Amino acid sequence: MKNQWDTYAKVFEEGMGEGGDELHTKLINPLIFKFLGVYEGKRILDAGCGNGYLVKLLSKQAKHVTGADASKELLKLAKKRTQKITNIDYTEVNLLDPLPFAHASYEVVIANMVLQYLPQLVTFALESADVLKPSGQFIVLVDHPGHALFDRVQELAGKPNPKWLTRASYFTSGQRRKKSLWDKAILEYYHRPVQEYINVFTPYFKLEKMAELTSDSETPRILGLLWTKI
Ligand SMILES: C[S@@+](CC[C@H](N)C(=O)[O-])C[C@H]1O[C@@H](n2cnc3c(N)ncnc32)[C@H](O)[C@@H]1O
């Protein structure tokens, strides 16, 4: 099957543009930079870098930024976006496999809106810990899975939200489908309750901060986790 991100790379680029869509500029980017603090001089891995918008922003102060992604089409767009910048490199990776980077070679690993598309997180947890230096930062942002609880209640009340195409309990992990990318795509993703995001990383990382963001004061929208390598 063709990678869904290759299929929708053009749609994604149109919606995200240079600095990200409204969700990124209003909620996601401010949280990432708050978690990062001072990152001047650091080597950063943007795991699942998409169209490279964050790689470009980070490259202004970081020593070096690696953008890694499974989508050839998104990597092409990312390379085009940042072709004149010298402290950036890109690698095609599958985050379900061992990472092709040296042990302890980054001070920061960021997974920005990526992990909800991976069927398992065990490999990525182990591999991120391996490529990070001691006390390195591990920053995770995902769609907040609490939306599933909200949707379940709407469904039980007879008013299901048409965005979510798979209906199941908040506690049921697994593959689901949703309308996404500004309603221009149907994407497969993996739902897991918050406890799974916490428990899979605790063998390797200490949780420093957790953030739950909303854009409408009701529905949980973004779950952000800041960890340091143990
Ligand atoms: C919602 S996009 C987020 C992109 C970018 N981080 C952002 O916030 O704009 C999800 C990204 O995860 C990547 N991705 C999904 N599954 C992957 C995998 N198994 N290995 C590597 N990248 C993957 C996709 O190619 C896509 O770029």
Give kind and range of the element (H or E) at residue 102. none
Ligand 1 centre and the CA of 6: distance in Å?
Answer: 10
Cα–Cα nearest to 43, from 97, 2, 84, 104: 104
Residue labelled with tokens 């930024």: 65
Is the CB of residue 62 below 6 angstroms from any atom belonging to ligand 1? no
Structural domains in the chain, CATH included, are: 1-117+132-142 (3.40.50.150)
Rounded to a whole number, what is the largest CA-CA distance in the chain? 54
Supply the residue whose CA is at minimum distance from atom 7 of ligand 1.
50
Is the CB of residue 117 below 6 angstroms from any atom belonging to ligand 1? yes
| pLDDT, tens only, 152-208 | 999 999 999 999 999 899 999 999 999 999 999 999 999 999 999 999 999 999 999
Indicate the DSSP class of residue 67.
Answer: E
pLDDT at 229 > cutoff 70: yes
| pLDDT, tens only, 78-99 | 999 999 999 999 999 999 999 9
SS3 119: coil
Q: What local confidence, expressed as pLDDT, does residue 227 receive? A: 98
Does the CA dihedral 117-129-104-63 come out positive or negative? positive
SS3 content of the chain, % helix, strand, coil (to 5): 35, 30, 40
Q: What local confidence, expressed as pLDDT, does residue 221 receive? A: 96
- Dihedral pair phi/psi, residue 94, rounded to 5°: -110, 120
User: Which residue type, as a one-letter code, is found at position 117?
Assistant: Y
Q: What local confidence, expressed as pLDDT, does residue 230 receive? A: 96
Q: What local confidence, expressed as pLDDT, does residue 87 receive? A: 98
Cα–Cα nearest to 16, from 180, 163, 142: 180
Q: How large a percentage of the chain has pLDDT more than 70?
A: 99
Q: What distance in Å separates the CA atoms of residue 73 and residue 56, rounded to the nearest whole number?
A: 17
Is the CB of residue 195 below 6 angstroms from any atom belonging to ligand 1? no
β-strands 174-180, 205-213: how paired?
unpaired
Q: What distance in Å separates the CA atoms of residue 131 and residue 229, rounded to the nearest whole number?
A: 10
* CB-count exposure of residue 75 (10 Å: 0-12, 13-18, 19+): buried
17 — pLDDT class (breaks 50, 70, 90): confident
Ligand 1 centre and the CA of 156: distance in Å?
Answer: 32
Q: What local confidence, expressed as pLDDT, does residue 19 receive? A: 87
Ligand 1 centre and the CA of 42: distance in Å?
Answer: 22
pLDDT at 1 > cutoff 80: no
Give kind and range of the element (H or E) at residue 88. strand 88-92
| pLDDT, tens only, 46-79 | 999 999 999 999 999 999 999 999 999 999 999 9
| pLDDT, tens only, 116-164 | 999 999 999 999 999 999 999 999 999 999 999 989 999 999 999 999 9
